[in-house]
Amino acid sequence: MQLERILQAQGFGTRKLCRIMIWNGEITVNGKVCEDPNADFATNNLSYTVNGESWDYHEKSYLMLHKPANYECSHKTQHHPTIYSLLPHPLVERDVQCIGRLDEDTTGLILISDDGQFIHRMSSPKHKVPKIYEVTCKHAIDEQQIAHILKGVQLVDEDLPIAALACEQISDRVIHMTLAEGKYHQVKRMLAAISNRVESLKRIQIGQLKLPVDLEVGQWRWLNEEDLNKLKPHS
């Protein structure tokens, strides 16, 4: 693929702008400056720098982000900064989208991609991708309340009771709740239905993929092959 097309595909601007960057000597490919916009390169395992910043070629973007509180999962925010401000500009230019929004006060694992099929598979209710939330409750939670969550609680505007796939008690006020749906304020509404309240909420796992302990709040990284395998359906 021509170098100017590579840079354009990776979110570095229009072909004209990418061509100018190349002419100005701002691009190195595999460690060498390239000033020819029409130079052809194989994209497999391609490494390059833009103004000294290192990048690897990715045909599609698959990312994870440790979402902080007080950020909105939207390109057009109302009251708080957008999570996309935590990403490098070229990734935003690729029109990446978060997969399943978290409320502004909810933290934890969120997936981001520009692959429409991947986004659909991970977000479609019919695929029932399980998600685990760490829930800190306002009041101590007992076995009877957990049993109610597992059996199903009736929510306003829902025809049938909604049940968690699993609910593990971690401490007096902390539970790990596993859900397959992504209904509006679902965890908060389920806790309210058992006369309790969510004090803090953090998504810690999607499918088999856990939020890495070394991924700090506000940080992001590419999903590797092992990560993607953990997101595939398991029978």
Mean pLDDT of 91-105: 92
* Least trusted range by pLDDT, from 22-31, 160-169, 183-192: 183-192
CA 218 distance to own-chain centroid: 12
Residue 142 dihedral angles phi and psi, to the nearest 5°: -115, 175
pLDDT at 181: 80
* Least trusted range by pLDDT, from 50-59, 77-86, 110-119: 77-86
pLDDT at 40: 95
Mean pLDDT of 12-40: 95
Mean pLDDT of 182-203: 91
Burial class of residue 46 (count of CB atoms within 10 Å of its CB; 0-12, 13-18, 19+): middle
CA 26 distance to own-chain centroid: 31
> If you average pLDDT over every residue of the chain, what do you get?
93
Given a cut of 90, is residue 7 above it in pLDDT?
Answer: yes
pLDDT at 127: 82
Domains of the chain, each with CATH number or no CATH: 3-56 (3.10.290.10), 62-125+209-230 (3.30.70.580), 130-206 (3.30.70.1560)
Return the SS3 of 126.
Answer: helix
Mean pLDDT of 230-235: 78
Q: How far is CA 210 from CA 29, 59, 111, 134, 204, in A?
A: 34, 24, 11, 12, 6
Mean pLDDT of 183-208: 92
Given a cut of 80, is residue 182 above it in pLDDT?
Answer: no
Q: Annotated active-site positions, please?
A: 103
Assessment of whether the complete model's pTM goes beyond 0.85: yes
Mean pLDDT of 13-41: 95
On whether the CB atoms of residues 65 and 112 are closer than 8 A, the answer is yes
Structure tokens at 227: 């990560």
Burial class of residue 42 (count of CB atoms within 10 Å of its CB; 0-12, 13-18, 19+): exposed
pLDDT at 156: 81
Given a cut of 90, is residue 18 above it in pLDDT?
Answer: yes
Given a cut of 70, is residue 176 above it in pLDDT?
Answer: yes
Residue 128 confidence class, pLDDT cut points 50, 70, 90: confident
Given a cut of 80, is residue 235 above it in pLDDT?
Answer: no
